[in-house]
Structure 1
Amino acid sequence: MVTVDDVRKVVRDLPRSEEHLIRDRVKFRVGPIVYVAFSRDETVMGFAFPKEERDALIASAPETFHLPRESDLRFHWVQAWMARLDPQEMTELVIDAWRMVVPKKVWAAYAERLTAR
């Protein structure tokens, strides 16, 4: 199981990422674009994810992943039960969600820095 604090540890190294508390919900965004958000009780993590791939993700682990509410289906978004995520999986999902919203040059610089380690 992962927590919001675990996500914060991943996000703190992501360029241009900011944490905001909006209507009692923790959200991470780049500029105006939210790429990770939590339910008020922090049991669900929503994250940016390609629409064309979300059905496959949900089918691969329906006990972990689910669609957002109907009004949010137009967005590139999936949700996961925090209790079902492991730290490695959460890290991959958060970084991929962030990658979807940052400029390509920001992602390229970050990826280059990772490979230089």
Structure 2
Amino acid sequence: MAGEDTTECATAPLDRLRALCLDLPEVVERPSHGEPTWFIGGKKTFVMFADRHHDDRVAFWCAAAPGAQEHLTAADPEHYFRPPYVGHRGWLGVYLDVPVDWAEIGELVSEAYRAVAPARLLRQLDAEPSQSG
């Protein structure tokens, strides 16, 4: 992936993912199923961390636009997968134990937020100056 960043330590993927999620309006973090999970308005899940929770991989699961899961998992199975439990709803799994492009991860997090957030928060997000991840 272009712009790959392979220099992070073992805890950096969670820290970086957390920063991307918490930078969005009205996002809170709390554990769900034993993993850090991010909610919009404290109610709607849009990103879930997966630290070897269902296999031996470090990843996250996120809401995705219709068709995104199928497209990305077919095009790049080294980085993307269909996660258990939520995959049937179109959610996307993203491996974090391979070199990743954090700008792309930021886009995926933003798209996940947009897939779940109410219109009021989308208007707020669109009114804010552009942020880079």
TM, length-normalised to structure 1: 0.84
Structure 2 unaligned regions, length at least 5: 1-5, 7-11
Is 1:25 the counterpart of 2:39 in the alignment? no
Tell me the distance in 2 between the aligned counterparts of 1:50 and 1:99: 9
1:59-78 to structure 2, matched below 5 A, reads 59-69=74-84, 71-78=85-92
* Contact persistence 1:19–1:26 (CA under 8 A): yes
1:11 deviation in Å?
Answer: 1.9
1:18-97 to structure 2, matched below 5 A, reads 18-30=28-40, 31-41=42-52, 43-69=58-84, 71-84=85-98, 85-97=100-112
Runs of 4+ in 1 over 4 A off after TM superposition: none
Q: Which amino acid aligns with 2:115?
A: M
Q: Secondary structure at the match of 2:92?
A: strand
Q: Which amino acid aligns with 1:94?
A: V
Question: For each residue in 1:65-117, what CA deviation from the matched residue of structure 2 results, as whole angstroms up to 9, or x when unmatched?
Answer: 01112x433323110110332210111011110111111221122122125xx
The structure with more helix, counted as a fraction of residues = 1
The CA RMSD over aligned residues, in Å, is 1.9
TM, length-normalised to structure 2: 0.75
Q: Which amino acid aligns with 2:89?
A: F
1:62 deviation in Å?
Answer: 1.1
The percentage of counterpart residues that share the same residue type is: 22
Tell me the distance in 2 between the aligned counterparts of 1:67 and 1:88: 21
Tell me the distance in 2 between the aligned counterparts of 1:66 and 1:105: 31
Structure 1 unaligned regions, length at least 5: none
